[in-house]
Amino acid sequence: MKKREKTRIRLIVNGEPYEVEVEPHKTLLEVLRDDLNLTGTKGSCGVGECGTCTVLVDGKPMLSCLTLAITVRDRNITTIEGLAKDSKLHILQKIFLEKGAVQCGFCTPSMLLTAKALLDENPNPTRQEVIDYLSGVLCRCTGYVKIVDAVLAAAEEIRRRGSEYAEE
Amino acid sequence: MVRTLEPFEYYEPTSIKEASDLLQSFGEKARIIAGGVDLLARMRRREITPDALVSIKFIPGLDFVEEADGQLRIGALASIRSVELSKVVQEAYPLLYEAVHSIHSIQVKNTGTLIGNLCIATPASDIAAALIALDAKVKIAGPSGERTVPLEEFYLGVRKTVLQPGEFVTEVMVPRPSSEAKGAFLKLVRNATDIAKVNVAVLLTVKNGVCEDARVVLGSVAPVIFRAKKAEEALKGKSLDEKVAVEAAAAAAEEAKPITDIRSTAEYRREMSRVLTLRAIRRIMEG
């Protein structure tokens, strides 16, 4: 069987198709940051403990640092750059800002994407469900209380307005 | 220190046979990859530096969680999360659900596969402890065809299994527990995302207050996850009460062979083996 060398693949990121040449040992995180210049996704521990490299693959939070880019060709990938729509912030983003849930900001992209996946699955989570769902993302500032508060407030606002996006 | 991955030869077989042939031809120099959570982390740490990776991700027909003929079947590409979300697992295999649900990181559960978690052969696997209590078997594909091995006999040591060159696990099968069987899974962890210091999975079949069958499984307290047979004997045929539970828990702790490491001392692990076993049995008694 033929081994796969550097291969031209299509990655669908935030709805946009990108043609990229990747070597099999390149992780999705490296390709997003270094080839596509989408640096909102952060790398940190590199071994699946901190969750900072989270992206959504077909809507599910996954570890981009432990995913070979070649294996997610043609799948729908959402990074933090794709969370806002046109010039409208996602309500999670708006409320993270309002409630001071962003401190140093390093975990924020992963917290937001993971929270979005949670609300897509469960629009009305309990506080404990939010804590459990976000537990795979570590906040270096340990500012969890405001993050959980913000997710619960965003859930409520999204339910009330029937839209995920804030007004312009 | 964590570094980028070293280059490797990469293959994407599209059939089980092709994957098996590739794995056999490379022998120790190749690794199989599905979710990659454990493998790529270890490669980053340079604990292992395989020449080739054989991805089974594009083999059709391996991503399933379903029940048929009285048993649950989970395919090699089923994510841990898909098992957690399975209605049949939640309703008919609550012990497995508890173990899977005790793994917190949603990212790890989506990225990693359940069978990958079994095959890395860590004595701390919550899922393996629960599945041994449930008498699960693994289906193994290899150069000379298929074979089936009870999960209890699958492990030979830390990161060692009975898998021969060219072999890999394609499926795990779990018999549906009887309606009288009740289980409990408990573990002790430092924080939500760390691995267990001790984990315990207990499955008791109780009729009219009498324990007809018992499976008591302990993880993280010996080189392999094991059935505490003396604890099981202390339970079988007895009317379940506090005295029996205390005796069985003490027997389980005696059978543990824990080590001291960064997470706990051996003495603490042994004592907690007793405490968690007792709590698990009590929980089952309380219904």
Residue A4: which pLDDT band, with cuts at 50, 70 and 90? confident
- Interface ipTM > 0.90: yes
Do A56 and A38 share a structural domain? yes
pLDDT for res B231: 97
Do A102 and A65 share a structural domain? no
| Stretch B190-197: mean pLDDT | 79
| Stretch B232-243: mean pLDDT | 96
CATH of residue A118? 1.10.150.120
Question: Would the pLDDT of A2 be above 80?
Answer: no
Instruction: Yes or no: say if A161 and A92 are a contact pair by the CB < 8 Å rule.
Output: no
**Cβ burial B208-241 (10 Å sphere, 16+ → b, else e):** eeebbbbbbbbbbbbebbbbbebbbebbeebebe
Average pLDDT of chain B to the nearest whole number: 95
Strand partners, A56: A61, A78
Residue B195: closest CA among chain A residues belongs to which residue? A49
Domain presence at residue A131: yes
| Stretch A121-140: mean pLDDT | 96
Residue B3: which pLDDT band, with cuts at 50, 70 and 90? confident
Domain presence at residue A20: yes
> At which of A82, A112, A131 does a domain end?
A82
Q: Is A51 on the interface with B (CB under 8 A)?
A: yes
Q: What is the pLDDT of residues B127-180, one digit of tens each?
A: 999 999 999 999 999 999 999 999 999 999 999 999 999 999 999 999 999 999
Residue B6: closest CA among chain A residues belongs to which residue? A25
The whole-angstrom separation of Cα B56 and Cα B14 is 7
pLDDT for res B43: 96
Domain presence at residue A133: yes
Do A96 and A125 share a structural domain? yes
The whole-angstrom separation of Cα B286 and Cα B278 is 12
Q: Is A66 on the interface with B (CB under 8 A)?
A: yes
Do A105 and A41 share a structural domain? no
Q: What is the pLDDT of residues A57-108, one digit of tens each?
A: 999 999 999 999 999 999 999 999 999 998 899 999 999 999 999 999 999 9
The alpha-carbon radius of gyration of chain A (Å, integer) is: 16
pLDDT for res B189: 87
pLDDT for res A3: 73
Closest CA to B115 of B87, B137, B93: B137
pLDDT for res A91: 98
pLDDT for res B226: 95
CATH of residue A58? 3.10.20.30
Residue B194: which pLDDT band, with cuts at 50, 70 and 90? confident
Strand partners, A85: A88
Alpha-carbon torsion (A105, A53, B127, B45), positive or negative? negative
pLDDT for res B1: 53
Q: What is the pLDDT of residues B84-101, one digit of tens each?
A: 999 999 999 999 999 999
Q: Which DSSP string do the residues of B41-63 spell out, in sequence order?
A: HHHHTTS---SEEEE-TT-TT--
Question: Would the pLDDT of B72 be above 90?
Answer: yes
pLDDT for res B259: 87
Q: Which domains does chain B have, with CATH numbers?
A: 9-55 (3.30.43.10), 65-175 (3.30.465.10), 181-286 (3.30.390.50)
| Backbone phi and psi for residue B276, each to the nearest 5 degrees, phi listed first | -70, -35
Instruction: Yes or no: say if B170 and B155 are a contact pair by the CB < 8 Å rule.
Output: no
Do A72 and A96 share a structural domain? no
* pTM strictly above 0.90: yes
| Stretch B218-238: mean pLDDT | 95
User: Measured between CB atoms, which of B5, B9, B107 is closest to A61?
Assistant: B107
> At which of A55, A82, A109 does a domain end?
A82
3-state percent helix, strand, coil for chain A, nearest multiple of 5:
40, 20, 40
Domain span at residue A96 reads 91-161
Closest CA to B19 of B71, B54, B65, B58: B54
Instruction: Return the higher-pLDDT residue of B51 and A3.
Output: B51
Closest CA to A91 of A152, A164, A151, A14: A164
**Cβ burial A60-90 (10 Å sphere, 16+ → b, else e):** bbbbbbbbbbbbbeebebbbbbbbeeeeebb
3-state percent helix, strand, coil for chain B, nearest multiple of 5:
35, 25, 35
Do A66 and A108 share a structural domain? no
Domain presence at residue A2: no
Closest CA to A14 of A100, A86, A67, A118: A86
Do A96 and A154 share a structural domain? yes
If DSSP codes are grouped into helix, strand and coil, which group holds residue A78? strand
Question: Would the pLDDT of A167 be above 90?
Answer: no
Do A12 and A67 share a structural domain? yes
| Stretch B234-250: mean pLDDT | 96
User: Measured between CB atoms, which of A23, A48, A57 is closest to B108?
Assistant: A48
Q: Give me the number of domains chain A comprises.
A: 2
Do A95 and A71 share a structural domain? no
Q: Is A144 on the interface with B (CB under 8 A)?
A: no
Instruction: Return the higher-pLDDT residue of A167 and A25.
Output: A25
Q: Is A142 on the interface with B (CB under 8 A)?
A: no
- A7–chain B nearest CA distance, Å: 11
Please indicate whether, in this complex, the C-beta atoms of B104 and A27 are within 8 angstroms of each other: no
Looking up tokens 């962890």 gives B189
Do A153 and A97 share a structural domain? yes
Residue B195: which pLDDT band, with cuts at 50, 70 and 90? confident
Residue A24: closest CA among chain B residues belongs to which residue? B10
Taking CA B55 as the corner, what is the angle to CA B101 and CA B12, rounded to the nearest 5 degrees?
Answer: 145
Instruction: Yes or no: say if B95 and B134 are a contact pair by the CB < 8 Å rule.
Output: yes
Q: Name every chain B residue with its beta carbon within 8 A of the beta carbon of A125.
A: none
Do A52 and A29 share a structural domain? yes
- Taking the CB of residue A132, how many other CB atoms lie within 10 A of it? 17
What distances in angstroms separate CA A103 from CA A96, A110, A133, A142, B208, one per listed residue?
Answer: 10, 13, 20, 9, 58
Alpha-carbon torsion (B8, B14, B18, B24), positive or negative? positive
Domain presence at residue A15: yes
Largest CA distance in chain B: 61
Please indicate whether, in this complex, the C-beta atoms of A47 and B44 are within 8 angstroms of each other: yes
Give the N- to C-terminal CA distance of chain A in Å, as an integer: 54
Do A154 and A112 share a structural domain? yes
| Backbone phi and psi for residue B58, each to the nearest 5 degrees, phi listed first | -110, 15
Domain presence at residue A166: no
> At which of A37, A62, A82 does a domain end?
A82
Give the N- to C-terminal CA distance of chain B in Å, as an integer: 47
Domain presence at residue A168: no
Domain presence at residue A146: yes
| Stretch B246-251: mean pLDDT | 96
pLDDT for res B2: 66
Q: What is the pLDDT of residues A15-53, one digit of tens each?
A: 999 999 999 999 999 999 999 999 999 999 999 999 999
